[in-house]
A and B are shown apart, each in its own frame.
Chain A
Amino acid sequence: MTLALPRPVARRFTLRRPRPGLTAAGLVLLVTLAAAAWPSLFAGDPLAADPLRVLEAPSAAHWFGTDQLGRDVFDRVVHGARHSLSIGVAATVIAVGAGILLGVVAGLVHRVADEALSRGFDALAAFPLVLLALLFIAIAGTGTTSLIVAIGIATTPHHARVVRAQTLVVRQAPYVTHAVAFGASRPRLVLRHVLPNVLGPIPVLAMIGLGEAVLIAAGLSFLGLGPQPPSPEWGAMLSEGRGYLHIAWWASLLPGAAVTATVISLTVIGRHVQHRFEGRPS
C-alpha cells in the first residue's frame, strides 16, 4: 500500500518566507526596550549641558548632534525611550483594565443598560482622542500622571467595545450554559468561565493600543502637556527643537524618528500577531 501523496513543497517555502519588515520591527523594538531598561548602559547623562558645544551637527563625538543647551541628542533620545514607553505602557494598562471591566459588565448586564453603555462607548470612541485627553488635562492639570490617565481614559472605549463583543460571544458558549446547568454561582460564572475566555484577544489589542498610546503621548507632550523640560521625553524634545529647526534639524527630527520607528514596529508586530491570532496569513 504505497499511496504517494504529493509533498506540499510550496508550503515549506511559504512557511520560511523571509519577512524583512517583521524582522526589522522586532529589532527596533528590542533596541527600544533595551534603551528603556538600561539607558545608562548605552548613553551618557541626558542632562549634561556643554555651553561651548551648542547645536553642533551630528559627528563621531555626538552621533545625533547637540541641542540648544549643548546636551547630547543621542543620550537624550536613549533616555527618552524609558519616559515615552512607560507613559505608553501605563496608559495602555489603564485603558485595557478599564476596558475589560466595562466591556464585561456591558456584555453581561440587562439589554437596556448594555445598549446605553455601548452607545456611550461608540460615541466616545468616535470622539477625537486629543480633545478627550485635553478635557481631562484641563480638569486635572498638566503633568505626567495626568497625561497617562488622560490617554488611558481616552482610549478605554475602544477596548471596552472589543471586550463587550467578545463577552456576548462567550456567554452563548456551550460551556457557560453547562456551568449554569450545574448550578454555578454568578460570581463563579463570571470569574471562572466568562472572564478567562474573554481575555484571549487582549494581548493583541494591547499591543496595537500601545503604539497608539505612544503616538498620542508624544503629541500631547509636544504641546507641552506632558513631562516638563528638562526631562528627555521624545515629544517634549521635538517641541524644544522646533524653535531651532532652521539651524539644527537633528535636535527635533531625530527624536521624532525614534517615536516613528517605535510606533511603526509596534503596529507591524501587532498586525502580524493579530493576523496569526485570527488564523489569516499576514
Chain B
Amino acid sequence: MTRAVARRIASGAVVLWAAATAAYLALLAAPGDIVDSLIGDGADTPQIRAQIITEWNLDRPAVVQYLDYLWRAAQGDLGRSYLLQRPVGEVIGDQLPPTLRLAVAAAVFGVVLALVLAVTTRHRWVRRASSTAELIIVSTPPFLIGIVLLSVFSFRFGLFPVSGDQGWAALVLPAVTLGLPIAGVLAQVLRDGLDRALDEPFAVTARARGLTERAVLMRHALRHSLIPAVTLLGWLTGALLGGAVIIEQVFGRPGLGQVTLQAVGNGDMPVVLAVVVLAAAAFVVVNTVADLAYLLIDPRLRRSTS
C-alpha cells in the first residue's frame, strides 16, 4: 500500500518535472532572444533587461540556468511578469478563486446531472432521447451553449446578470455551460458501466434474492459503473481548465482564463508558463486522488495491493 502511494508520488513528480522542462524548452524555442520572449509587449528598458538577466541567470552557463529555473519552480517561485511588474504567483493567486468557484460549481452540476441521467433514463425510448441529447451537447462548441443560455435567460427573461462575477446568480449560467458537456460525456460512460454491471452474475444473484430492479441498480450496479467514470477524473480537470478559458470570455468573468488569454495576446511568457505548470500540477493531484478513489470504491483492489 505505502509502496503504491510512493510510486504514485514519484511518477507525479516526474510529470511535473517534464511539464516544467517542456515549458522551459518552449521558452528557448520561441523566436528571438529569451529576454525578448520574457518581456513580451512590456516596457523594454535596459533596467528591465538587466533585471531579467540576473533573475533568470542568463549570464551563467545553460545548465545552471535550467537547474536554477527548476529549483525556483520547485520552491513555488513561478517568476515575475515583466509586463504587469508583479510576481506571477500573485497574478495567478488573485485570479484563482473565481475560476475555482466556477470549476467546482460546474463539476458538481455536471456529475450530479450525469448520475441522474444515467440512473433515471433506463427505459428504451427515454434512453435513446437522452443519448441523442448527450451527443448534441458534446458536439456543440461550449461557447455556443453559453451564448444560447445568455440570450434566453439573461437577455430575454433577465433572470441572471449578463457578465461579471457578482454573487451566486452570476455563477449559475457559466457553471451550467461548463458542466453540460461534462455531464454529456460522464452520462455516456456511466450508462455503459451500468449496462455491463447489470449483465454480471452478481446482478442476477441480487435479483434472485428478491431485490427490486431499483435496488440492484442503486446498491450494486452504480458502484461498478463508477470505476470507469473515475478514470475520467483527469480528463474532467482538463475539460474544466480548458473550458474555463473560453467560458470566462463568453460571460465576461474575471479568472485564470482571462489572465491566460491576456498573457497569450501580449506575449507575457512568464504567466503563460506558470499557467501550464499549474495545470500540470492540478493534473497530477487529480490523478493521485483518482487512484485513491479506486481503492475507496473497489474493495477488491484494496485486498490485492495491501
Contacts and interface: CB of A to CB of B under 8 A. Distances in A.
Interface in B244-277: 245-246, 249-250, 260-261, 263-265, 267, 269, 272, 275-276
A242 B141 contact: no
Interface stretch (B62-70, B195-203, B214-222, B232-240): B232-240
Contacts of B27: 139
A245 interface: yes
- Residue in A119, A138, A223 whose Cβ sees the most chain B Cβ within 10 Å: A138
Interface stretch (A57-65, A98-106, A128-136): A128-136
A152 B162 CA distance: 34
Q: DSSP majority for the B interface?
A: helix
Given A219-B142, A264-B135, A242 B275 contact: no
A274 interface: no
B139 A264 contact: yes
A238 interface: yes
Interface in A202-254: 211, 215, 218-219, 222-225, 235, 238, 242, 245-246, 249, 252-253
Contacts of A128: 238-239, 241-242, 279
A219 B141 contact: yes
Q: DSSP majority for the A interface?
A: helix
A130 B264 contact: no
A222 B139 contact: no
Given A134-B272, A139-B29, A267 B139 contact: yes
A252 B238 CA distance: 27
Contacts of A21: 132
Interface in A109-164: 119-120, 123, 126-131, 134-135, 137-142
Given A140-B31, A245-B155, A260-B140, 11 more contacts: A120-B18, A123-B283, A127-B279, A127-B280, A134-B245, A223-B245, A238-B147, A245-B147, A259-B141, A264-B136, A268-B135
Interface of B: 14-15, 18-19, 23, 26-27, 29-31, 37, 132, 135-136, 138-144, 147-148, 150-151, 155, 162, 234-235, 238-239, 241-243, 245-246, 249-250, 260-261, 263-265, 267, 269, 272, 275-276, 279-280, 283, 287
14 contacts: A123-B19, A127-B279, A128-B241, A130-B243, A130-B246, A134-B245, A134-B260, A138-B263, A238-B141, A252-B147, A253-B144, A256-B148, A260-B141, A268-B135
